[in-house]
Amino acid sequence: MHLEELRDYCLSKKGVEEALPFGPETLVFKVMGKIFLLTGIENSPIQFNIKCLPEKAIELREQYSCVIPGYHMNKQHWNTIICDGSASKKIIFSWIDDSYHLVASSLTKKLKSELDSL
């Protein structure tokens, strides 16, 4: 997977914006202002952090060598995914979807309503 493919996939989701709040090396994707994915622009292979339910985070780390505790994040809620080819794009995209939906479900009622109207 390439950065552009990851970027296009994230931006295709409703209510998503990209930003560089931590400097020019870290690209951040937010749904209605809340982060659901972060990635280093220069990483090779590409790797990114996604939010995850604590039980699921542990399960994925046990099942996939490309999933490790979230780098510089709360390791209970975030995983780092290393796109080294050991997990298919379909699976990786499903993990991104899970992160997006997890963050979207935690939005305030007002923000959920705004997201639904997009």
- Residue range 8-54, pLDDT digits in tens: 999 999 999 999 999 999 999 999 999 999 999 999 999 999 999 99
Question: Which fold does the domain 3-110 belong to in CATH?
Answer: Aspartate Aminotransferase, domain 1 (3.90.1150)
pLDDT of residue 60: 97
List all residues 6 or more positions away from 47 whose beta carbon is below 8 Å from its beta carbon: 39, 40, 71, 80, 81, 82, 83
- Integer Cα distance of 31 and 17 in angstroms: 7
Annotated domain spans of the chain: 3-110
- Integer Cα distance of 14 and 71 in angstroms: 26
Please give the angle made by the CA atoms of 32, 54 and 114, to the nearest 5 degrees: 15
pTM of the model as a whole = 0.95
| Residue 40: both structure tokens together | 């280093």
